[in-house]
Amino acid sequence: MGNNDSTTFLAGVIEGFYGQPWNQTERHQLFDWMSSWGLNTYLYAPKDDMKHRALWREAYTAAELAQLERVIATCKTRGLRFIYALSPGLDIRYSDSSEVGRLKERFEQMRSIGCENFALLFDDIPDRMSDADRERFGSFASAQCAVTNDLFRWLHERGTNGRFLFCPTPYCGRMAERQLGGAGYLETVGRELLPEIDIFWTGPEIISREITVPHIRELQTLLRRKPIIWDNLHANDYDGRRFFCGPYAGRAPELRSELTGLLLNPNCEFALNFIPFRTLGAFMQASRKWDPRAAYLSALREWRAHFETVSQPIAFDDLLLLGDCYYLPFEDGATADAFFQSSRTLLSKHPSQWGPDAATVRAQTQRFRDFCARLTELKNRPLFYALSRRIWELREELDLLDRYVAGKGDGKLPDAACSSDFHLPGTYRGGFVPRLQRLLLPHPDGSFTPSALPHE
């Protein structure tokens, strides 16, 4: 793969989340997967690498640089394109030439260890300009384009002809509609950013349930080029209680012809990303028909090999239910939803009407609860540690549900409410954040209203 080939479709993974960056062992595993699954690009942009974002002016130490050099070399041996990104937008002074000089120094350091592809990211930054920047450039868009174009030309003058990527301040449809970055931002970028530079986009939303061909074609008229999708479908850095191991979904294979690339920004925890990466690779190889659920089930069967325990094997049906509990941001998987619906239907009735349904729900609950406990026996300890806090929370909820149904069903808890010696006030579902969450009630349309709460 030639790194200066601007026609190559970029398909792969962004390490671009907020949270602890992956370690070298995890990255090497990622590169093995990518090369096996038909993916070709890795973008290095972990928000909490301090020298990627908060301390973007500071050069890497010799030890830090040596680690990145090994990452670049590993990518090259596997035929993968490595892209290094800087995110200076928190405090860059666009009109100060010394700031552009610092960006060049940072890129020069990466060039010295073999990096050929670069990106400048201006996402998630304050929506304001200094007086000096406004006087010189007039707008955010013009300032960012001027700096990016300068860096692009400078690299080419030095013989670095790899890909160059740009992330705009309004990087999704909702942000653009609300004129983040100023009126006409995208039109200005489309007009002023050099045409050789690729532009990131996340879709209609930051986390987009669907990205359609008409949506992208409308964007193309503004950007005057095909975009690259920075896909947050499986990102979980905004909600540490969840992770997403469902399939790559909500995008049709026809979308690929409208893009110059598609990169997935996934779960923070590397060990939880097997299915997202595996199904993205399958999506890139798919014809015009794409069945996300079938791809998910196939990948789940492969992932099962990572769930070897010290005792008996994990049943596929149990693993399927677990995966369906942590499926995608906008939906649970089918088996988890069926479990929820049967439990909700039972609890909507008076216990005198439960009949054999109570025993069925209890059997399902107990089996699932016991499976969660068995995951402590995983030999793959990084996988267990990535799962453990979520699984423990799930197990506690299953235990509470089982105790409630058992108590109501045998008549020992006749009142409408019941208590549990294992889930005391303030110890379970307690703390400041849950108290805040109870203040505003979410609705299906995304709106919130104050909750009718008793005084504490």
Question: What residues are labeled active site?
Answer: 124
Q: Helix 356-374 vs helix 381-409: angle between axes, to the nearest 10 degrees?
A: 160
Handedness of CA 318, 322, 325, 331 (dihedral sign): negative
The answer to whether 211 and 250 have CB atoms below 8 angstroms apart is: yes
* 283 to 255, 292, 294: CA distances (angstroms): 11, 8, 11
Q: Give the number of C-alpha atoms closer than 13 A to the C-alpha of residue 357, restricted to the C-beta side.
A: 17
Question: What pairs with residue 166 in β-bridges?
Answer: 120, 199
> Of the candidates 397, 375, 395, which has an alpha carbon nearest to the alpha carbon of residue 386?
375
Helix ranges restricted to H, 47-180: 62-77, 97-111, 131-137, 140-157, 173-177
Helix ranges restricted to H, 304-431: 316-325, 334-347, 356-374, 381-409
CB atoms within 10 A of CB 402: 18
| 3-state secondary structure at position 164 | strand
SS3 content of the chain, % helix, strand, coil (to 5): 45, 10, 45
d(CA 282, CA 39): 9
352's CB contacts (< 8 A; 6+ apart) are: none
d(CA 175, CA 170): 5
